[in-house]
Amino acid sequence: MSRCDVAIVGGGPAGLAVAIAAASRGLRAVVLERGTLPVDKACGEGVLPPGLGALERAGVLPLLDRRACTPIEGIRYVQEDGSRAEGKLPAPGGLGIRRTALAEALAQRARDLGAELREECALLTHRRTSQGVELDTKGGPVEARLLVAADGLASRLRRLEGLEGEASGAPRFGIRRHYALAPWSSFVEVHLTDGAEAYVTPVGTEQVGVAVLWRGARGAGGAGEARGAGGAGEARGAGGAGEARGAGGAGGAEVQKPGSGAGGEVEGGTAFEGQLARFPQLVERLAGAMPVSRQRGAGPFARVARARVADRLVLVGDAAGYVDAVTGEGLSLALRSAEALGEVLPDALARGATRASLWPYEEAFQRIFRKYALVTHGLLQLAARPWLRRPVVRWLGRNPRAFDLVLKHTVS
């Protein structure tokens, strides 16, 4: 049995950032990724100023492939009638980056610091002991002092540990694709229509990512929820003391569409094209551009965690709770929550990684999450009321400095 201080389930940005935070403090960190690295999932692929700061502090920025990222100057809203509003992000601005390129840089930094990254190593079951947590994985048994769940929106560890809360409101879904097309702007462009938004993010000198988000019943536009494909089911009371729980595998699939594989990959083009057709101006802009990635879907977005900590267990990233992708803050939240966890790890482990010793992370997470949740709920309410949204965006278009101030106070 191999031993480590911190075992991290999921090799996405949140899990890799935790590995960096742990290894940089001299702790033995092992990442358990059920698939191969880098993990690709549906993502807006924008890092806002707070997330960019976290990447800099983690020593990741110098490792980024500059061909797969582009500085982001601000946000531009484009309405059905062509009216628009632009606001600049506070310094140092943002970064549009392919999720895979970000994951590669995070993985390199984690390895450089001594973290161990295990691919095709799904978590099968876990059980608490007096010394920590025993994990059964496809790569063999692991004993850890702390288990970190970074297994995505549909986190099975969150559910199996009894930390799943009930989300409210109409479900929202998303789907994304990339095009071989030189970015026409240094702004993230958000096209608006009744019940949906399309986000265009520059992710390199010759590529843009397009993500469409919409509101609707489960299955609208072909979306459905994935239930941890490829995992082992629950196993309770297996093998002696403690309760064994099936964990399904690292990096749990967030969403599937009909005909898709684990992780939200979508076969065919109808789901994305059908949603994109709701934005004629964007369709015209993309005319003739070659798609260079397969469709990937995500949702329903809203996820509630009753708490982020338990004895010898922590939730990070999307597994820790999520409201919606409308603000584009998912990556930044993941990076910042991982950084916050890193700050409490040494003391918490010295005190047995109890719920009480991990509580400072819970408090830090809530401080980070509170503003995001407030802003996100506000934007969702505005988006659901086109009669109000249209004049608000027009007013911001006439008052760009006011829009700058809004961004300064909501994303910094």
pLDDT at 309: 98
In tens, the pLDDT along 322-380 reads 999 999 999 999 999 999 999 999 999 999 999 999 999 999 999 999 999 999 999 99
* Rounded Cα distance, 216 and 384, in Å: 11
What is the token pair recorded at 404? 């700058």
pLDDT at 270: 54
* Rounded Cα distance, 51 and 341, in Å: 15
Contact of 276 with 175, CB cutoff 8 Å: no
Largest CA distance in the chain: 68
What is the token pair recorded at 350? 């010295």
* Strand 84-88 relative to strand 94-97, pairing: unpaired
DSSP string, 43-83: ---EE-HHHHHHHHHTT-GGGS-GGGEEEE-EEEEE-TTS-
pTM of the model: 0.88
CATH of domain 2-411: 3.50.50.60
Average confidence score pLDDT of the chain: 88
In tens, the pLDDT along 89-115 reads 999 999 999 999 999 999 999 999 999
